[in-house]
């Protein structure tokens, strides 16, 4: 994780970006019980990989 990403993740205070709940290497790392009822899951391995939950 680069410095800017780490700072945004730690503070969640960027007014231009949505709240970041986590950064994961694998779907197996995600604890869905700690996420809100509705959220967006964005992948970075393809173009347009977004899931609305």
- Residue in the block written with tokens 């993740």: 9
Segments making up each domain of the chain, as ranges: 25-53
Confidence band for 39, pLDDT divided at 50, 70 and 90: confident
pLDDT surpasses 80 at 22: yes
- What pLDDT score was predicted for residue 31? 92
Checking if the pLDDT of 11 tops 90, the result is no
Instruction: Give, as one character, the DSSP assignment of residue 47.
Output: T
Half-sphere exposure of 4 (CA within 13 A, CB side): 2
Across the chain, the runs of DSSP E, i.e. the strands, are: 40-42, 50-52
**Taking a C-beta distance cutoff of 8 angstroms, is the pair 15, 3 a contact?**
no
Q: CA nearest 1: which of 22, 27, 16?
A: 22
């Amino acid at each position: 994780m680069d410095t800017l990403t780490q700072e945004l993740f730690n503070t969640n205070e960027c007014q231009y970006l949505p709240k970041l709940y986590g950064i994961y290497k694998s779907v197996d790392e995600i604890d869905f019980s700690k996420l809100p009822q509705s959220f967006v899951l964005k992948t970075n391995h393809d173009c347009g990989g977004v899931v609305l939950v």
